[in-house]
């Protein structure tokens, strides 16, 4: 993946809810994940972190911003939820604006949904002149 120009980011080892987890336990989960990443991915001068549920406490931000570039997103697609509504998810995605980061999960249990929604999302915004690019990590 890195050879193709992709970045590998930390998302915690256990997908903990940062608002319900004490800071030190949360930090240990991040460090465990980073050890795993470092063992399989060539070293990078940029360490990325995206919180499991899309938000962090001030304490967690303070602990992480020294080591990581924190990546948040403006829109979470929601197609992975068991009771999702196709029109509601599309409406939510179509409200994205230029510069927004939109989160799509690529997990097996909802792969069929992500394939449908991602293609529709890309087609919708491409038809309106939007382009998609890798985040600027500088």
The residue behind tokens 């998609």 is 132
pLDDT per residue, tens digit, the chain (138 aa), is 778 777 888 999 988 888 888 888 988 999 999 999 999 887 777 889 988 877 888 888 898 999 999 988 777 766 666 666 677 777 777 788 888 888 777 777 777 777 777 888 888 889 989 888 877 665
The answer to whether 46 and 7 are in contact (CB under 8 A) is yes
- pLDDT of 58 reads 87
- pLDDT of 107 reads 72
The residue behind tokens 């992480």 is 64
For the chain, domain boundaries: 2-70, 75-126
3-class SS of residue 103? strand
- pLDDT of 40 reads 87
């Amino acid at each position: 993946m890195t050879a193709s120009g992709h970045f590998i980011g930390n998302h915690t080892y256990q997908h903990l809810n940062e608002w319900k987890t004490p800071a030190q336990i949360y930090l240990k989960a991040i460090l465990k994940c980073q050890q795993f990443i470092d063992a399989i991915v060539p070293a990078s001068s940029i360490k990325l972190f995206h919180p499991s549920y899309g938000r962090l406490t001030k304490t967690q931000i303070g602990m992480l911003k020294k080591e990581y570039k924190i990546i948040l997103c403006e829109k979470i697609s929601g197609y992975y939820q068991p009771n999702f509504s196709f029109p509601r998810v599309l409406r939510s995605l179509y409200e994205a604006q230029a510069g927004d980061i939109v989160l799509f999960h690529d997990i097996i249990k909802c792969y069929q949904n992500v394939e449908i929604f991602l293609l529709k999302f890309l087609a919708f915004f491409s038809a309106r002149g939007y382009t998609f690019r890798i985040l600027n990590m500088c």
